[in-house]
Amino acid sequence: MHSSSPPSRSAIWLPIFAGLSASLVSIGLARFAYTPLIPALIQAHWFCASDVVYLGAANLVGYLIGALIGRPVAQRTSNKTALRLMMFAVTLSFFACGFPLSVNWFFGWRLLSGVAGGAIMVLVAATVLPHVPAARRGLASGAIFLGIGLGIAGSGTIVPPLLSLGLQQTWFGLGLLSLVLTAASWFGWPSEAHHPAVAPSIDEPKTATDPRVYLLFAQYAFMAAGLVPAMVFLVDYVARGLGAGPHVGALIWVMYGLGAIVGPVSYGFLADQFGAKVSIRVVLVVQAIAVGLLAISSSFTALALLAVILGSFPPGIVPLALARVHELIAQHHQQQVAWSRATVSFATFQAIAGFAYSALFNASGGHHALLFVIAAGAIVVALLLEQGMRLLNRRDDVLPVLN
């Protein structure tokens, strides 16, 4: 009987803190702390330059695998157990990366950290959001994925002082931070009142064939392709491409991190206020312009401003896409299935784009602007798919009249 009473504030914020910690450890740190480590890994002769780029891609490939296996793992155990296990796996990988035994050893641990990130991305919202009032879910999912933004910002501020202690100490420092967050969130996960695996499948055909859901998957995939160049090459573009040096590059990365902190909560708030469909449209227009301008900007002020806008995008579109899934699909189990598929489409395009942009960058002799123009094009395609959604909506409105 007492389950119908509104949950206390602490009962809501504890799971949100656990979700934030999970996204901070598994994506914020595991993926983004690697970016500022790239020059140090090459300079310390741990690996050659081509291997370092290849090792960076290992995390993206792992992310795709994790997105695919996240739900099956949770169904065999429980969401709570799977999330704890994945956070522990990331922590272990940080400590293991402190020992440069071989490229394969390093690749394996970077891959594992990516697997954990993908699985957490699929499971974390489904575990936490059912315990949050419906009107606050956009904001709550923004708070969960704020962890990604904190990780991006943290990678620009924590990694440089750690590097002054040494490369191995940097990996151990990240491992220690990850261990603390894993322990702090351990008992914050909500217990599942109903197991998501046992759910009626009556609605399955209806939601599975809704073309707007598939269009969202496609949109989300092109967003992934559009965010990779700035995410991977921004620091290098400023430091080497524009000749501003590593110090200015690091400053721009901190601005990118600032945007990444602001992004999830503000995009989630937008989804709560104006609906996810309208919010996605506005965000895509702004991002397409920002990425396009990056290709022709060289002043520090312009780059800093663009970095904030671009930084808000990778973690910010997660709560937006999730809110859109909730708009299109009513049933909880089906929302989980759709979100899992959306994450897989995002992860697939992100991994392909990661390899493709790296190959193009090498083939073009290090032409950054070309990558940014292609990225802007990918975001424009995502916008055009939105027009496709509108046409489908119009068709749905007209069909009953014709019948």
Largest CA distance in the chain: 73
Handedness of CA 327, 382, 122, 190 (dihedral sign): negative
For 383, list phi and psi in degrees, rounded to 5: -65, -40
CA gap 42, 240 in Å, rounded: 15
Instruction: Decide if 308 contacts 255 (C-beta within 8 A).
Output: yes
Helix, strand or coil, per DSSP, at residue 189:
coil
- Res 305: pLDDT: 96
Helix (H) or strand (E) run with residue 211 in it:
helix 211-236
Q: Residue 361: what pLDDT?
A: 85
Q: Scanning the structure block, which residue is given the tokens 């901070």?
A: 24
Whether the CB-CB separation of 270 and 320 falls below 8 Å is answered with yes
**Range list of H helices, 38-166:** 38-43, 49-76, 79-96, 103-128, 137-157, 159-163
**pLDDT digits (tens), the chain, 403 positions:** 344 444 556 678 889 999 999 999 999 899 888 877 877 887 888 887 778 777 877 888 899 999 999 999 999 999 999 999 999 999 999 999 999 888 899 999 999 999 999 999 899 988 888 888 877 787 888 888 888 889 888 887 888 888 889 889 999 999 999 999 999 999 989 876 444 443 443 344 444 457 889 999 999 999 999 999 998 888 888 888 888 887 788 889 889 989 999 998 899 889 989 999 999 999 999 999 999 999 998 899 999 999 999 999 998 999 899 999 989 998 888 888 899 899 999 999 988 998 888 888 888 888 889 999 999 999 999 999 878 767 766 766 555 544 4
Helix segments in 158-210, DSSP class H:
159-163, 167-185, 204-208
Instruction: Decide: helix, strand or coil at residue 330.
Output: coil
Contact 192, 78 (CB under 8 A): yes
CA distance 70 to 86: 10
Residue 188, φ and ψ in degrees, nearest 5: -85, -20
The dihedral built from the CA positions of residue 377, 122, 316 and 152, taken in this order, carries a sign that is: negative
CB 138 within 8 Å of CB 153: no
**Nearest-5° angle of CA 385, CA 386, CA 392?**
90
304 three-class SS:
helix
175 contact partners, CB below 8 Å, separation of at least 6: 91, 92, 94, 95, 98
* CA distance linking residue 322 with residue 343, whole number of Å: 10
d(CA 35, CA 31): 8
The total number of residues shown for the chain amounts to: 403
Are 329 and 335 a contacting pair, CB within 8 Å? yes
